Amino acid sequence: MKYMCEPCGYIYDPAEGDPDGGIAPGTAFEDIPDDWCCPVCGVGKEDFVPYED
């Protein structure tokens, strides 16, 4: 399941992860540390919603 940042529209794709943010490819959104922030706008996980493309 992908997740979208509501403020900026960034899509977190578990298949890609966020290598620059220390999140390895294959990491489920639920398994990302709670202090992770959107790499585009900097908001926290609480501002992400499930996304279906």
Question: Does the annotation flag 37 for ligand binding?
Answer: no
* DSSP characters over 1-53: -EEEETTT--EE-TTT-BGGGTB-TT--GGGS-TT-B-TTT--BGGGEEEE--
Question: Does the annotation flag 5 for ligand binding?
Answer: yes
Q: What is the identity of the amino acid at 24? A: A
Question: Does the annotation flag 41 for ligand binding?
Answer: yes
User: Binding site: what residues are annotated?
Assistant: 5, 8, 38, 41
Which residues carry a binding-site annotation for Fe cation? 5, 8, 38, 41
